[in-house]
Amino acid sequence: MQQRPLGKSGLWVGRIGLGTMTWGRQTDEYEARDQLAAFLDVGGTLIDTADSYAKGVSEEMLGMLIQEFDCRADIVLATKAVQRPDTERRLDASRGHLVSALEASLKRLDVDHVDLWQLHRWDSWTPIEETLSAVDHALRSGKARYVGISNYSGWQTARACTLQETRGVAPFVTTQMEYSLLERGIEREIVPAAPSLGIGILPWSPLGRGVLTGKYRHSIPIDSRGGNPDTSGFVNAYNNERSHRIVDAVCTAAEGLDAAPGEVALAWLRDRPGVVAPIVGARTTQQLISALGSEELDLPTEIVTALDDISEPDAGYPEAGWAQRR
Catalytic option among 30, 53, 146, 317: 53
Cα atoms in the 13 Å half-sphere on the side-chain side of 111: 29
Mean pLDDT value of segment 318-322 = 84
104 vs 88 pLDDT, higher one: 104
Instruction: Flag whether pLDDT at 171 surpasses 70.
Output: yes
pLDDT band at 226; cut points 50, 70, 90: low
Q: How far apart are CA 192 and CA 154, in angstroms?
A: 10
Q: How far apart are CA 212 and CA 250, in angstroms?
A: 7
Per the annotation, the verdict on 146 as an active-site residue is no
Mean pLDDT value of segment 156-174 = 96
CATH of 3-324, one of 3.30.830.10, 3.30.1330.60, 3.40.50.2300, 3.20.20.100: 3.20.20.100
Mean pLDDT value of segment 25-52 = 97
Say what the pLDDT of residue 83 is.
96
Say what the pLDDT of residue 234 is.
77
**CA-CA-CA-CA torsion sign (168, 174, 178, 180):** positive
Report domain extents, the chain: 3-324
